[in-house]
Structure 1
Amino acid sequence: MGKRHKKSKAAKPEADVGMPRPLRKEVLEMANILLEKCSNPFGDKGKEWIEYLEVYGLVEKLRKKQTNYVMNHPDREKGFPAFITWLEGNGMDTNVVSIEKYDVTGYGLKASKTIEASELFLSVPRKVMITTETAKGSVLAPLIKDDKLLQAMPNVTLALHLLCEKCNPDSFWTPYIKILPERYNTPLYFTPEELQLMRGSPAFADAINQYRSIARQYAYFFRLFQTCDESQKIPIRNMCFDDYRWAVSTVMTRQNQIPNRRGEMAVISLIPLWDMCNHSNGHITTDFELKSDCSKCYALRKFEEGEQVFIFYGDRSNAEFLVHNGFIYSENDYDKLNIKLGISKNDPLYEMKRQLLTRLSLLPSRTFNLHAGQDPVDSSTLAYLRVFNMDYNELSARLTGQKAKQLVNQLRDFGLFVSADNEKKVWSFLETRAELLLRAYPTTIEHDEGLLAEKSSSLSECSKLVLHLVIGEKNILRNTIKFTQDLKNEVDELVQQHLQQLAVGMNDLNLGTNQASITDGKDDSDDLGELLVKDTPSGAEQQPVISKEPDCEETSKDILVDTQCTSNETQLPTSEVAAPVNETVSPAEQPAGITETPNDQCA
């Protein structure tokens, strides 16, 4: 009797795990169908949407059957007093900031006094964090030990750990879990109508893949929990899709990396209170101090008493913020649009171009970025496009010529052309590409802005976020088109200036020496590139900027949030004692510093 009572007590407060056996059997059959559907690779690119609708339909049938068994979420605001008391009881000083609800960002932190720039305002001990380390000491331990998926995907492990703790009324983290958002504005919660508004955006495919991946994960774990002996004591054995989606979204929007207890490696964590900081432009101001075993957050600027305290989540695009965090930051200094570029292997000069790109630490096919603001093209994109448009002689000069190293280093320099002809090809190519990308969106900026401006509009919050996203992306493309046109005109003007100089030189009595330096059998437009290169002292060789960006296009099918390639997870720099964690990953809920990834703006 005692054992039965204990088991039901550990499983019931938040969820009715007493799902009838016939329903469990029915859900299992549906989960098997869903797993098979989601495990097959997408067919033709044009069929991605149709296949998404099929998966969405299966999930909605599951959700309908599970309606009466989804976990309850208490009133978030009512839990704040107990949450603060819990933090203080575990050694946290909460006097510098307080929890406040704001119109635009939702819940955030308010300065209880004036906080000076760089002043420490929040120190969170490891003790109150939910981490993948604490998961290994939980009821999930046997499953983690045996299941390869959980071993390979610590973020999924953390999500299941969170669900187990939510089911346990005696959980140490109950005061924290009760103040977490009930739902999020990530694409996992989008309807097909809301997702349709994202068509044309590179984030459209990301959102579809994310939904499909989470559906597959849910089906996999539901089947595992019904058939695996190690899962018999797990309180989430009969978890619903809505429960898994909630846990995954909580982790995805809030996860950060901290050093493990020995400082040897990074572990994924949820950091209470700090994860309620919202995002602003700035710089990372959070790290993890091994000596005190706390995450330390410092003010990125001065905050007056009563002002909302922001942190910097990292240099993410609005597409990344929406897909992984569920919000858009309208003043994003780091907004950008992904653009995929590749050299065909059928190109007769493919091998030469590949070799030259290797010297620039670039791949023949990869994703580049077009940036918001006055300078949409960065130096890596410029170098790639110049190589892409080179002829045989231009490639040879940079692979085997006497000045090969110097010429390669100059490929990232906007002021030094390969040749006038090459430079015009670069900007003409990019102009055409940007125009095609802009036409891929089914609506115009004016149409989207009109929808947002309609006071009588019944647009959902998610629809508004998507419209803000695509408007920003379309503006980036418009700006890129103008940028390329301006640079093409500049090339034409430089060529004309050069030709005028030649004409003047023809009438010069001392013409001989001048002609000898520019006449080598090429046309005058090519000479312009040569002359511009000669303006750089031969001894001042620039070292190429080495691009170490990971190629994130190939990601694990089952990944929730790829710890190498996504910006939702941030790793805190380690200060003072012991082995620092070197890699900084972005946070999941708008926090700044550590691994800034908190995200109450999406709540």
Structure 2
Amino acid sequence: MKDHCCRSGRTARKRRQKQERSIQSVSLCHQLQYVRLMKFLHQRGFTSSLLQPAHFTDTGRGLQTLRTVKPGQLVISLPESCLLTTSTVLDSYLGQYIKSWKPCVSPLLSLCVFLVCERHWGQSSDWFPYINVLPTTYTCPAYFTENVMAVLPATLQKQALEQREAVRELHSLNQDFFRSLQPLLNQPVDEVLTYAALRWAWCSVNTRSVFMSQPPSNFLSGQDVYALAPFLDLLNHQPDIQVKASFNDVTRCYEIRSVSGTLRYQQAFINYGSHDNQRLLLEYGFVAPCNPHSVVYVDTDLICDVLSGDRSLVQKIKFLRENDFLNNLTVSGEGPSWRLMTVLRLLSLPQTLYHHWKAVLLGQMVCDDREQWSIETAKNLCQRLLQDAHRALDKISRLLQQCDQSVREQLDVVKSLRQEERCILGSCLKVLQGMLRQPDELPSCQLDVDTVS
């Protein structure tokens, strides 16, 4: 990825428009699985003459406009009867089992179990037309092999391991509930509700559901905000697209309304939110090209390693943690974040100035030589991160030569993230170099009421 791919603005928009003209698409609406899906939805009250499923050379499967979408125009209006929610599950054959189980299961688990059971029933399932178009595997960290986990950035690796463990616990801690469902199945329950099956269902809900708050239920525990939206969930994410998406209580439909419009025969997009690519990979299993929100995270362990010679480091880190200042330390192509520089400014102070630490967190400046120390430290951190990105990319190249297709797909996503990381860090280092002063330009450090020395 080139440096300019990390920037947004008029040049980036022109480049993207040129790329869009070269993107090819192939309609999927005549394939049997999509014919079945549309018939299933039409029977439930959904009609769509504006969008069709298509395969695009840049993003894969998505939705293509058949007519120009004007700004403010309604793109999709999916009736409530087409949505798969916990109400759907509680009204199904699973309902009596969930309602009688104590302690109550979570909304997420109820949806996951329903998906697994519906897939188990195959074509006899009412929801088969939808299940049949869901991906059979995902590139979310819950699926990652150990080799792929090992080439993730440090902060993302921790979150990825937590995600995988959360899915494992969801499976292992609910074995008794699964066994209670045996009367519903024509195979042993441990052959149906396997870890692999639950992982597939969990990723299906986590990556494809829309936010839709459900009324509290006496039979479920925890917040209920998931809704699976067939056809609508074929929309891909683009960071700079603006849409309005919500459930309309009057029409009883989940609606997507375009803000800026889309030209005829172009791909229609949705926006999942202002997420950087680490978040997109963790939650959705993909990386968005030219993402204006992209950053590189600086892990606390790396800061401690770089500053290991500071005898008061433990106390400073404890102070930063108590003041909730060790999260979201980042750099972008435009330089280090304010939050990271504030942390480094505090770390530049000696223990004798402990009484000034809180003031620095609140934005009080430090003197020039300590500011320059903070910039140098930020530069050192970026260089270390850049070295790590290079090592990871080298390892990914070797792994790609000897892996199967499923692992290749995982590695390709991580490779894109690491290439972007390398680009961001290169740009940030140039910014930091420009912030450094020559030694003879530095004034002496004087302590006064306005400046911490």
On whether the aligned pair clears a TM of 0.5, the verdict is yes
2:228 corresponds, among 253, 270, 285, to: 270
TM score, norm. by length of structure 1? 0.58
* 1:102 counterpart residue number: 56
Would you say the 8 A contact 1:253–1:324 is kept in 2? yes
Instruction: Describe the superposition over 1:486-513 as per-residue Cα deviations: whole angstroms up to 9, x where unpaired.
Output: 22228x6863xxx5xxxxxxxxxxxxxx
Q: Given the superposition, is the C-alpha separation of residues 374 and 449 from structure 1 closer, same or farther in structure 2, using an over 3 Å criterion? A: farther
Q: In structure 1, how many angstroms separate the alpha carbons of the residues matched to 2:223 and 2:400?
A: 49
Structure 1 stretch displaced more, 84-93 or 342-351: 342-351
Matched ranges for 1:71-150 at <5 A: 77-141=31-95, 142-143=97-98, 146-148=101-103, 150=105
* 2:446 counterpart residue number: 526
Aligned-residue offset at 1:232:
3.3
* 1:319 counterpart residue number: 278
4+ residue runs over 6 A deviation = 262-265, 342-346, 448-454
- State the AA in 1 paired with 2:138: Y
Q: In structure 2, how many angstroms separate the alpha carbons of the residues matched to 1:280 and 1:260?
A: 27
Secondary structure in 2 matching 1:285: strand
TM score, norm. by length of structure 2? 0.75
Q: Given the superposition, is the C-alpha separation of residues 98 and 76 from structure 1 closer, same or farther in structure 2, using an over 3 Å criterion? A: closer
The alignment status of 1:473 with 2:421, answered yes or no, reads yes
Q: In structure 1, how many angstroms separate the alpha carbons of the residues matched to 2:413 and 2:155?
A: 15
Q: Given the superposition, is the C-alpha separation of residues 174 and 293 from structure 1 closer, same or farther in structure 2, using an over 3 Å criterion? A: same
Q: In structure 2, how many angstroms separate the alpha carbons of the residues matched to 1:334 and 1:147?
A: 43
Aligned-residue offset at 1:292:
2.1
Instruction: Describe the superposition over 1:121-149 as per-residue Cα deviations: whole angstroms up to 9, x where unpaired.
Output: 11122221111232233333434653548
Q: In structure 1, how many angstroms separate the alpha carbons of the residues matched to 2:146 and 2:392?
A: 20
Matched ranges for 1:62-461 at <5 A: 77-141=31-95, 142-143=97-98, 146-148=101-103, 150-151=105-106, 154-168=107-121, 169=123, 171-196=125-150, 198-222=151-175, 224-226=177-179, 228=180, 231-233=182-184, 237=189, 238-239=191-192, 240-260=194-214, 266-282=224-240, 283=242, 285-341=244-300, 347=312, 350=315, 354=319, 362-363=323-324, 366-375=326-335, 377-391=336-350, 396=355, 409-411=362-364, 417-441=365-389, 443=391, 447=394, 460-461=408-409
Q: In structure 1, how many angstroms separate the alpha carbons of the residues matched to 2:426 and 2:448?
A: 29
Q: Given the superposition, is the C-alpha separation of residues 131 and 476 from structure 1 closer, same or farther in structure 2, using an over 3 Å criterion? A: same
Instruction: Describe the superposition over 1:418-445 as per-residue Cα deviations: whole angstroms up to 9, x where unpaired.
Output: 2112212222222223333333457276
Secondary structure in 2 matching 1:367: coil
Higher Cα Rg, which structure: 1
Q: Given the superposition, is the C-alpha separation of residues 532 and 135 from structure 1 closer, same or farther in structure 2, using an over 3 Å criterion? A: same
Aligned-residue offset at 1:231:
4.5
**Structural RMSD (CA):** 4.0
Question: What fraction of aligned residue pairs are identical, expressed as a percent?
Answer: 20
Would you say the 8 A contact 1:317–1:336 is kept in 2? yes
Which runs of 5 or more residues in structure 2 are unaligned?
Answer: 1-28, 305-309
Would you say the 8 A contact 2:248–2:254 is kept in 1? yes
Count of residues in correspondence between the two structures: 406
Q: In structure 2, how many angstroms separate the alpha carbons of the residues matched to 1:443 and 1:209?
A: 24
Q: In structure 1, how many angstroms separate the alpha carbons of the residues matched to 2:186 and 2:108?
A: 19
Would you say the 8 A contact 1:124–1:295 is kept in 2? yes
Instruction: Describe the superposition over 1:71-125 as per-residue Cα deviations: whole angstroms up to 9, x where unpaired.
Output: xxxx994221122223233222311111111122111111111002232111122
Q: Given the superposition, is the C-alpha separation of residues 352 and 465 from structure 1 closer, same or farther in structure 2, using an over 3 Å criterion? A: closer
Q: In structure 2, how many angstroms separate the alpha carbons of the residues matched to 1:113 and 1:262?
A: 40
* 2:10 counterpart residue number: none
Q: In structure 2, how many angstroms separate the alpha carbons of the residues matched to 1:246 and 1:398?
A: 48
Q: In structure 2, how many angstroms separate the alpha carbons of the residues matched to 1:190 and 1:349?
A: 34
Q: In structure 2, how many angstroms separate the alpha carbons of the residues matched to 1:246 and 1:453?
A: 24
Q: Given the superposition, is the C-alpha separation of residues 352 and 247 from structure 1 closer, same or farther in structure 2, using an over 3 Å criterion? A: closer
Q: Given the superposition, is the C-alpha separation of residues 170 and 203 from structure 1 closer, same or farther in structure 2, using an over 3 Å criterion? A: same
Q: In structure 1, how many angstroms separate the alpha carbons of the residues matched to 2:357 and 2:432?
A: 25
Aligned-residue offset at 1:452:
12
Q: Given the superposition, is the C-alpha separation of residues 353 and 386 from structure 1 closer, same or farther in structure 2, using an over 3 Å criterion? A: farther
Secondary structure in 2 matching 1:460: helix
Q: In structure 2, how many angstroms separate the alpha carbons of the residues matched to 1:449 and 1:218?
A: 31
Q: In structure 2, how many angstroms separate the alpha carbons of the residues matched to 1:246 and 1:199?
A: 21
Would you say the 8 A contact 2:343–2:361 is kept in 1? no
Secondary structure in 2 matching 1:329: coil
* 2:17 counterpart residue number: none
Instruction: Describe the superposition over 1:329-353 as per-residue Cα deviations: whole angstroms up to 9, x where unpaired.
Output: 1211112222233899984994898
Aligned-residue offset at 1:161:
1.6
Structure 1 stretch displaced more, 105-114 or 477-486: 477-486
Q: In structure 1, how many angstroms separate the alpha carbons of the residues matched to 2:313 and 2:395?
A: 43
Structure number with higher relative contact order (C-alpha < 8 Å, ≥ 6 residues apart): 1
Would you say the 8 A contact 2:67–2:265 is kept in 1? yes
Would you say the 8 A contact 1:278–1:310 is kept in 2? yes
